[in-house]
Amino acid sequence: MSETVWRVWARRAALAPGAVYALIVLSLVFGVFTAQFLTLHNLTNVGMQGSVLIIVSLGMTLIILTEGIDLSLGPVLGLAGVVLALCVKQQMGLPLAILLAILAGAAFGALNGVLITRLGLPPFVVTLGSFGMAQGLALVLTQGSSIAGLGPAVQYFYDGRILGIQVPIVMTAITFLVVYIILYHTKFGTYVFAIGGNQEALSLAGVRTRLYKTGVYVLGGILASVAALVMTARMNGAHPTVGVGLEFDAIVSVILGGTSFERGRGWLGGTIIGALAVSVLRNGLNLIGLSTSWQVTAVGMVIILAIVVDGLRGI
Amino acid sequence: MSQFWLSLLSRVVAIILLVVVLSLVSSGFLSVQNLINIVRQASLLFILSSGLTVVILTAGIDLSIVSVLALSACVAANFIQQGWIWGGSLIGLAIGAGCGLLNGLMVALVGLPPFIATYGMYWIAEGFAQVFMQGQIIFGFPGGFRVLGAGYVAGVPVPILVMVVVLVACFFVLQRTNFGRYVYVIGANREAARLSGINIRGNLLLVYSLSGLISAFAGLVYISRINAVESTIGEPLLLPAIAVVCIGGTSLFGGEGGIGGTLVGALILTLVTNGMNLLNVSPYWQWFVMGAIVVLSVAIDQLGSAKVGGA
């Protein structure tokens, strides 16, 4: 009997997404090789810095589940941050500023979604185009420079605490809950999985797949704006190119978390573990003293490794 | 095929319109110096996009071209500056081909979606370039090397001659060799290609290696022209390179288009950029315009073909 139990667990372990192993191995390695890694202070840091990535990755998960991709999420985050900062600087109320930032993200999501679903264009080209447009708008609005000093009201979203817990962590938890409910407990979520599985069949069954698919990109844009709020609060300012490359980390997190580019296979919880693994990787490489240049290379290799393993295992 | 020539014709008309409008709006436009400048700028874009065109013809994509360009240019520059012109150039080309080969392995053997495999390679090469350069700039190359980007032969800038050579070579390979035919078939209908016994994996490996090799070559021309290199030189080129192929009418779904369209695309895009410079448009708008051009040209092509298909 003990042998069967062992086998069940072995099978479960073999099926667990790569992120679980990556997180365990990376934590062990950094815990052994650096004194600071396994301190409560540093782990809280990882969680807070990782919150931006987790929030973006949650949106990216849904997009990838529909067999899409959004390369524009990084620059859209940058643009949303710029909009937020500019509005705050114009003495607009913070709620209105946040609303406008979210609208900017949603607008780019809608643009992506409509072009992809109505014209049948490949997602990576459309979102590469909007990558340029969002980047351009952020640069034009700021003339290429930073906007600094937004004041304590904005900083609250990074430094503040709710019931003793840091605000970014609370926001991440709420975002996860919302996306979880959307994905697993609504019709919308069921269709997201189904679109990835077989969009053709779903359309023939009379489901408005284009509408739902567009909704996925809009949600991705909105979540990028929410992440921009945390990012802007952390920097107490905005910079037009701050988001570039984040879309890449988000893709890595989603893939590591076990969501596949094909067949609508995926798991929302895995994305959180994947994003934490990427955050731990960056944090640990920092602690070891590896330059950001090497980090770029290291994360690039992790994604290739993760997808190759995913591809080989999924056959 | 006739539809392809029709769309090519419409693009030539677009060039003529752009030239007329720009010469009316800006007095400096029609000077010989400015026109030579335009073609010379277009030549770099064309060379970089020519390898990408072949990749896209197979229904693939190579997002890594610009960081492969940067990485190979940085390493090559290190040797070239010390006087090893040929050795350094060959090392650069080898690095480019090697990165391309890795892309090919991921796409053809592992079966990864091309955009994700090459996007991973984008960051790997970018990271290595940054590590190699440590934020430094290498500048001041020997005169022998500078001929490639800044020299003249019989009054014609060398990059333009290089562009013509690449154009003829690509045209010959795509239209007159078995490999060229396989590229089109693989892009148009992979299943049919497989059933007719075409070695898809081998040809894809070759296509992606070629793309890396050409990127490295474009990098050599580029750094020879500007006489300096840093790790980020490639970054601003990705959107224009893809835009050039899209404007040129090569279908992102593969099997349709060709190298001639890419030449036209490079000229159109350079005219637009040149026009924005002459009109003093903020360089920050250029990002936006590039992005919009990519989306628009793909969308227009798709709308056009959808109508033809529906009729």
Hey, where are the domains in chain B? 2-306
Are B123 and A300 in contact (CB < 8 Å)? yes
Which of A242, A292, A302 minimizes the C-alpha distance to B130? A292
Residues in chain A where the model's pLDDT stays below 50: 315
Are A303 and B123 in contact (CB < 8 Å)? yes
The reply to whether A279 falls in a domain is: yes
**What pLDDT does B311 receive?**
29
The reply to whether A6 falls in a domain is: no
The reply to whether A66 falls in a domain is: yes
**What pLDDT does A263 receive?**
67
Q: What is the pLDDT of residues B9-67, one digit of tens each?
A: 777 787 888 888 888 887 777 888 888 888 988 999 999 999 999 999 999 999 999 99
The DSSP code for A148 is: E
Are A119 and B303 in contact (CB < 8 Å)? yes
CB pairs under 8 A between A and B: 141
**What pLDDT does B2 receive?**
59
The reply to whether A2 falls in a domain is: no
Residues of chain A with Cβ-Cβ distance to B291 below 8 Å are 128-136
- State mean pLDDT over B187-209: 91
Structural contact between residues B80 and B140, judged by C-beta atoms closer than 8 angstroms: no
The reply to whether A8 falls in a domain is: no
Percent of chain B with pLDDT over 70: 95
**What pLDDT does B36 receive?**
87
**C-alpha span between B130 and B140 (Å, rounded):** 20
- Phi, psi for residue A290 in degrees, rounded to 5: -75, 135
Interface contact A301, partner B, CB < 8 A: yes
**What pLDDT does B133 receive?**
87
Burial per residue of A72-99, b for 16 or more beta-carbon CB atoms within 10 angstroms, e otherwise: bbbbbbbbbbbbbbbbbbeeeebeebbe
Structural contact between residues A130 and A221, judged by C-beta atoms closer than 8 angstroms: no
Is the per-residue pLDDT at B237 higher than 80? yes
Residues contacting B241, CB < 8 A, separation 6+: B45, B48, B49, B52, B65, B66
Are B130 and A296 in contact (CB < 8 Å)? yes
The reply to whether A94 falls in a domain is: yes
| Counted domains in chain A | 1
**What pLDDT does A15 receive?**
66
Distance from CA of B258 to the nearest CA of A (A): 19
Q: Which CATH architecture has domain B2-306?
A: Orthogonal Bundle (1.10)
| pLDDT confidence tier of residue B309, bands split at 50, 70 and 90 | very low
The domain in which residue A40 lies consists of 19-314
What's A136's domain CATH number? 1.10.3470
Interface contact A121, partner B, CB < 8 A: yes
Least CB–CB distance from B239: residue in A128, A261, A297: A128
**What pLDDT does B151 receive?**
86
> What is the model's pTM?
0.82
**Averaged pLDDT score across all residues of chain A:** 84
Q: What is the pLDDT of residues B138-156, one digit of tens each?
A: 988 888 888 888 888 888 8
Are B123 and A251 in contact (CB < 8 Å)? no
Percent of chain B with pLDDT over 90: 42
**C-alpha span between A207 and A195 (Å, rounded):** 10
Are B288 and A120 in contact (CB < 8 Å)? no
**What pLDDT does A315 receive?**
42
The reply to whether A184 falls in a domain is: yes
Token readout for A78 is: 């940058």
Token readout for A136 is: 């351009």
Residues contacting A149, CB < 8 A, separation 6+: A236, A237
Task: Count Cβ atoms within 10 A of the Cβ of residue A184 and give its class: 0-12 exposed, 13-18 middle, 19 or more buried.
Answer: exposed
**What pLDDT does B310 receive?**
32
Q: What is the pLDDT of residues B87-139, one digit of tens each?
A: 999 999 999 999 999 999 989 988 888 888 898 899 889 888 988 888 889 98
